[in-house]
Amino acid sequence: DSGVTQTPKHLITATGQRVTLRCSPRSGDLSVYWYQQSLDQGLQFLIQYYNGEERAKGNILERFSAQQFPDLHSELNLSSLELGDSALYFCASSVRSTADTQYFGPGTRLTVL
Amino acid sequence: GIQVEQSPPDLILQEGANSTLRCNFSDSVNNLQWFHQNPWGQLINLFYIPSGTKQNGRLSATTVATERYSLLYISSSQTTDSGVYFCAVGESGYSTLTFGKGTMLLVSP
């Protein structure tokens, strides 16, 4: 157990819908990262927050957004869902904002029908 | 951006055999991690090793940063070692990880 929690574990929804994925980092970690794992793209970085502020942005679609709250938990919002958004979404956390071990949560498996 | 190449892409071993997985990267890094993704999809941290050598039980890893590669050694493999092994690197000056495509390992009894 990495100490990073993600909910829900599984999510099945329809095209065009909007969903919210939730992540709680390890105790004491200030940095939260979101990654997407799909069959065609592999594992790729989406976005990072550090102590409530956006720190880095990767290949995140405009339909996707995230935020980190004062209690340091984070939410990833996915809207206008398409079939291609079906993937495993991971949250990771670390103490520092750079060059630090990232610990991954169990992931949320999203299926868009 | 930085490129990460892992080899071999697939590996089949008999239980008890040893193996070496390789990760090449195209630029200097400030972070390198090895992960094991089990059949349930969970990503398990194996090593944080931007340079040097570390050992943890039957697993060990070496990163030669100046030559831009890292090796993961698995000794006396067990069926529970099956899964996908990922190398992920953090480019110097950046905080995020770029993942390789992984090595899929199958250990048969």
Q: Write the CB contacts of B38 (distance below 8 Å, at least 6 apart in sequence).
A: B44, B83
SS3 A83: helix
Q: Residue B84 is encoded by which pair of tokens?
A: 């996908």
Separation of alpha carbons B70 and B81, rounded Å? 19
Contact B70, B34 (CB under 8 A): yes
Q: What is the DSSP string of chain B?
A: ---EEEE-SEEEEETT--EEEEEEESS-EEEEEEEEE-TT--EEEEEE-SSEEEEETTEEEEEEGGGTEEEEEE-S--GGG-EEEEEEEEETT--S-EE---EEEEEE-
Whether B96 and A48 lie within 8 Å, measured CB to CB: yes
Residue A15 Cα, gap to closest chain B Cα (Å) = 24
Amino acid identity of residue A100, one-letter, is D
Q: Which candidate from A2, A45, A106 shows the least CB-CB separation from B97?
A: A45
Residue A45 burial (C-beta neighbours within 10 Å; 0-12, 13-18, 19+): buried
109 residues of chain B, pLDDT tens digit each: 899 999 999 999 999 999 999 999 999 999 999 999 998 899 999 999 999 999 999 999 999 999 999 999 999 999 999 999 999 999 887 878 999 999 999 999 9
Whether A43 and B99 lie within 8 Å, measured CB to CB: yes
How does residue A59 score in pLDDT terms, banded at 50, 70 and 90?
confident
What is the torsion angle, in degrees rounded to the nearest 10, for the CA atoms of residue A83, residue A84, residue A87 and residue A93?
-120
Separation of alpha carbons B6 and B75, rounded Å? 19
CB pairs under 8 A between A and B: 55
Q: Looking at the predicted structure, is the pLDDT value of residue A106 above 80?
A: yes
Whether B99 and A99 lie within 8 Å, measured CB to CB: no
**Once rounded to an integer, what is the mean pLDDT over residues A52-74?**
95
The one-character DSSP state at A69 is -
> pLDDT digits over A31-48, tens only?
999 999 998 889 999 999
Q: What is the pLDDT of residue A97?
A: 82
Task: Pick the residue of A102, A108, A110 with the most B CBs within 10 A to test the interface with B by mutation.
Answer: A102
